[in-house]
Amino acid sequence: MKTATITFHAAHNYGSMLQAYALQHIIRELGHENRIINLRTDRQKRLYSRPFAPKRTFLRQVLHNVLYAPFKPDLDRKYELFERFLSDELSLTEESSSLSAIEGANLDFDCYIAGGDQIWNTAPIDFDWSYYLPFVETRKKISYAVSMGPDAKRQVSQYDRIKSYLSSFSDISVRETGTKSLVEQLVPGPIYTTLDPVLLLSKNGWLKYFDSRPLIKQEYILVYVPGAGYKKRVFDIAKELHIKTGLPIYTTLYAPQMLKYPYVKKYLAAGPWEFLNILINAKLVLCGSFHAVVFSALFEKPFLAVDGDKDNRMRTFLENMGLMDHVISGDNIAAKVENLYCCDFSAASRFLERERKASLAFLKHAIEK
């Protein structure tokens, strides 16, 4: 069948691009054609524009340029690596900038798939109603592992509109229990919970697609916080880890606040493949990111999920995997680290194998029925 996917494929975010890659790869492995609807709104392009491109008031832009100037070559390289991943690794339709542009594109596919990632979370600046597939009138619509974000209830003001769009979906699967509970209130079931697309590929499956030889030639701790790249609590914990272990801290993101942590090293010229390389070769991963947690568990890397019990997405995943002991929400960091280096992922691995089969069965059935 000819299938089309719509997702956050063009966000310069590691998890977003890698889950888009994984879902397209798996759909093709199931024997179907697939292209990603290349929606790149003006808002999203501004959000992920080339470094140092004017997008602030004059004084804020000057300050930004001064603070980021030492890292300009690496930041330019990072931008190019993300754009190269888009052009080289994903099969896309012609670019559209809005819902009306998609409606005028005369797309012709047998099945349209919304998913995965937080595309049904109306809060992000690059959200667009296109992710609910309102432009599809006569063809099959399904969703796969869609998320409404850390707190699905924030969509309350949009319930009626969301309900009207979801009522025409033939099959719906979501990524976590919070999203499932909300969708079940809006439309008749069954509503399924399926694995995030990146988990449809095994550890060895991922290793076939990128060079895993270490880019960083020493032992280190990776710290990863999405968005602005900085959260004081996470970096305060990183400081304690650095003192306890003596290991340098590396991050692939930069914010000026990091300057007060002189032991934090930056590897900024990292696109999606480089990020996976840095993650799988880390001694320990400290993160406040759903996809960093997921990849750490998949590659069986010692990790700490900062406040993972407070984020519906991370909590659902860690509970299902039996990995809630990797959550750090208090101050007992020393004990956590001692236990992590001898962590056992065998139960989590068995869970993944079982759920991977169920998730693939859902996707295959939803597309082909």
pLDDT digits (tens, 9 = 90+) for 305-332: 998 888 888 998 999 999 998 898 766 6
Residue 339 has pLDDT above 80, yes or no: no
C-beta of residue 130 within 8 angstroms of C-beta of residue 99: yes
Domain 2-46+89-201+354-368 and domain 204-351, same fold? Reply is: yes
At the top level of CATH, which class does the domain 2-46+89-201+354-368 belong to? alpha beta
What's the average model confidence in pLDDT over 17-42? 98
Query: What are the pLDDT digits (tens) for 207-217?
Result: 999 999 999 99
What's the average model confidence in pLDDT over 348-367? 97
Alpha helices in the chain, H assignment, sequence order: 14-29, 42-47, 58-68, 72-89, 99-103, 159-166, 177-186, 203-207, 232-245, 272-280, 290-298, 312-321, 333-340, 346-368
Query: What are the pLDDT digits (tens) for 87-126?
Result: 999 999 999 999 999 999 999 999 999 988 999 999 999 9
How high is the pLDDT of residue 338?
A: 67
Domains of the chain by residue range: 2-46+89-201+354-368, 204-351
C-beta of residue 281 within 8 angstroms of C-beta of residue 250: no
Residue 36 has pLDDT above 90, yes or no: yes
What is the β-pairing status of strands 33-36 and 2-6? parallel
Where does the pLDDT of residue 255 fall: very low under 50, low under 70, confident under 90, or very high at 90 and above? confident
How high is the pLDDT of residue 119?
A: 96
Tokens of 329: 């929400």
Query: What are the pLDDT digits (tens) for 218-236?
Result: 999 999 998 766 788 888 8
Superfamily of domain 204-351: Glycogen Phosphorylase B; (3.40.50.2000)
Angle at 317 (CA atoms; ends 130, 180), nearest 5 degrees: 45
Residue 58 has pLDDT above 80, yes or no: no
How high is the pLDDT of residue 200?
A: 97
Residue 56 has pLDDT above 80, yes or no: no
Residue 47 neighbours by CB distance under 10 Å = 15
How high is the pLDDT of residue 151?
A: 79
168: amino acid identity, one letter: S
How high is the pLDDT of residue 257?
A: 86
Query: What are the pLDDT digits (tens) for 160-176?
Result: 999 999 999 999 999 99
Q: What is the DSSP string of 225-260?
A: --TTS--HHHHHHHHHHHHHH-PPEEES---GGGGG
Tokens of 246: 């003596």
Q: What are the φ/ψ torsions at residue 142 (nearest 5 degrees)?
A: -135, 165
Residues 6+ apart with CB under 8 A from 22: 197, 198, 200, 201
What is the β-pairing status of strands 111-117 and 33-36? unpaired
How high is the pLDDT of residue 183?
A: 95
How high is the pLDDT of residue 220?
A: 97
User: In angstroms, rounded to a whole number, what is the distance separating the alpha carbons of residues 260 and 196?
Assistant: 36
Mean of all residue pLDDT scores within the chain: 92
